[in-house]
Structure 1
Amino acid sequence: MLLRERETPEGLLVSICDSDCLGETYEDGDINLEVTTEFYGGEEATEADADAVVDALQRADVANLVGSESVEVAIEAGLIDGERVLEVAETKHAQLMWL
């Protein structure tokens, strides 16, 4: 999985995607999900295991996740409700926001 963290005026933004999703576009009806290098990859992104992903999500103020593996890690850790996950074409997408 690719993990990218960045500070924003609103707090820590974490983006996570399955490595094989980077550069892909998923479409399903009106939904168009682009997994861009600018948001999910780049020099700031690192390869991460499940423990690193969970740690980053626990520290995040906002997070975006794309890919079956990435989303499942968050569900198994109890950070994402599996009933709220979007299935876009052949992948999964979830967002997290701590209030």
Structure 2
Amino acid sequence: MLLRERETPEGRLVSVCDADCLGETYEDGPVTLTVSEEFYGGDGAVEATEAEVIAGLRRAQVANIVGTEAVGVAVEAGLVDEETVLEFEETRHAQLLWL
């Protein structure tokens, strides 16, 4: 999985995706999800273990998670409710917001 963390004026933004999702575009009816190198990859992204992904998500104020494995890790860790996960073709997407 690829993990990227960055500070924004609103707090820490974390993006996580399965490595094989990077550069892909998924559709679900009229909704499109593009897993861009600019947002999920780039110089700030690192290959991460499950434990590193969970730690990164716990540090986030906002997170975007794409991929069957990455979303599964977030769900199993109790950070994302399975009922809020979106299905896009052969992948999954979830967002996390700590208030």
What TM-score range do you get, normalising by the shorter chain?
A: over 0.9
Deviations 1:40-70 (A, max 9, x none): 0001100000000000001100000000000
TM-score by length of 2: 0.99
How many correspondences in the alignment?
A: 99
TM-score by length of 1: 0.99
Residue 90 of structure 1 corresponds to 90
- For 2:92, the aligned partner's letter is K
Q: Matches of 1:51 and 1:44 in 2, distance apart?
A: 18
Q: Give ranges in structure 1 of 5+ residues lacking alignment.
A: none
Q: How do 1:32-43 residues align onto structure 2 when only pairs under 5 Å count?
A: 32-43=32-43
Residue 48 of structure 2 corresponds to 48
- For 2:68, the aligned partner's letter is S
Identity of aligned residues (%): 67
Query: Residue 8 of structure 1: CA displacement?
Result: 0.2
Alpha-carbon RMSD across the aligned residues, in angstroms, is 0.4
- 1:29 paired with 2:29, answer yes
Moved over 4 A (4+): none
Query: Residue 28 of structure 1: CA displacement?
Result: 1.3
Residue 57 of structure 2 corresponds to 57
